[in-house]
Structure 1
Amino acid sequence: MTYRTGFMIKKYTGTTLFFLLVIALCLVFLSPFLVMFTTSFKTNSDAFTIPVKIWPRTWVFENYPAALAQIPYLRYMLNTIYITVLSILGQVLVTPMVAYSLSKIQWKGSKIISGLLMATMMIPITVTMIPLYRTYSMLGLTNSYVPLILPTYFGKAFYIIIVRQFFNGVPNSLIEAARIDGANELQRYIFIALPLCKPVLTTVGIYAFLDAWSDYLMPTIYITKSEMLTLSLGLQQFMNEYSVDWVRLMAAAVMFVVPVIVFFAIFQKNFVQGIATSGLKA
């Protein structure tokens, strides 16, 4: 009885410490968002008053409509949604096709291509920025969304590797059974492989959403027309040469982040399942 009691005490103590650690880590990671959120309800003077307080001394709700009025926020959001939706569509269409061909179709050079894909992940974007810009400039595609959307329809190495890892875990017997039943390669891909990879495709979709929604560098390079700006670029308009309207900037930033939180909350279960089935660790 004493041994059992001691075991139960150790078990509950370990569980309690684990949850306390998780709560502490959550507070650490949520603290920047909490500060941003509470600052969006402050006045500029309150935001910098010493001693600094997390909660506003006076709640100011006018910062949100003021932020929407200060910049064409809805226009920038529509631009961002347009780029994001087409980018997700491109990645979800192309990635599983490339991954399936590398995993389940035997052709010469597939292993070499897989190795090259891994190698491209080690090339920093700064190396390819200038050649890509010159290419799009010569084609007359700058100041358009083509340079932001078109690359997604050629796949991204990281996403292809994730889906390929998933297909490697799919038994070849399923594909061979469809082959024996007379299904051609396209039918085996559409009716057998594609339905199986829904969880990992959800993971790819979430990654693609985060990349396209929060991308700052690529729109900075290719877009200069004010009416074509994305939200990540539009937030810069709260900053000028001599001052920064911090409280309205924080209000706009909260509205920028909320769709990401909602999107992830909706697909969180599928995201975790996709990471688990792809053989990678979150």
Structure 2
Amino acid sequence: MITSASNVARAEPICGMDAWLPVPARIEHIDQENFNTYTFRLRIIDDAIRRMYRWAPGQFNMLYVPGVGEAAISISSDPDEPRVLEHTVRVVGSVTRGILDTGVGGVIGLRGPFGVGWPVGNEIEGKDIVMVCGGIGLAPMRPMVYYLMKNRDRYRRVILLFGCRTPEDRIYIEELAEWEADGRIDLLVTVDNASGDWAGPVGVVTNLLRRVKVNANQSAVLVCGPRVLNRAAAWQFLQLHVPRSHVFVSLERNMNCGFGRCGHCQYGAKFVCRDGPVFRFSDIADIFAKEEI
């Protein structure tokens, strides 16, 4: 079930299920995106649960590997096809390694969906949409790209700015080419360090703002990436006079429970798993300015 909090998408955990209890999900397919990043296609095994499962762009699930632990992973597939459930995972720890080692045909646990997602509906309709992503930050933004492309007539310009360290670090390479050829969104991709036959822009992703004319009062900005990118991009858009209430940032924290009970993801007076991961900048500006938080 998808509800709305201040016109920001939120879906409740699977209807009728204990939010603490993982449901079994089978790994149906694995795509390797780059040297340490994989996209896992999951299928919830229980037919009734699979039929009722719904989620919103920008939300996440808790993925559980028996005997190892849980990790919060953003949902990266098309929200209009909720029974095709994908998570793009950078394999960097024991849980993510455990998911990869489980392999195709193996079963892991899934809880969710959790959190507040990207703004949808009236709040951003009729505006220019500017999405800024860095590295694995494209994964939580990918469902929003699907949503915007399917509802393209409701928006003015739709712009996606994506940056990563090298051309080899890109994810969804074939899909990026498809989006660019499709023409419904304006796509710019940059790398910090060029290699091979890379002929595109070189530099941090915020440099791409020089190539984009931003209509401050008619734009909604969505940012997702590492902390340094989130800060740099948000401040640059504010300097361009985009209102704070029109800037949305997806934050990454250590999330354990999914609904604000354990306190691991506390961010000032807020909890990233419950009140985020997507926040309106005007709601977190005071916290966001403090490097130690």
Report TM bin, short chain: under 0.3
Q: TM-score of the superposition, structure 2-length normalised?
A: 0.23
Q: TM-score of the superposition, structure 1-length normalised?
A: 0.23
Higher strand share: 2
> Which structure's relative contact order is higher, taking Cα pairs within 8 Å and 6+ residues apart?
1
Larger radius of gyration: 1
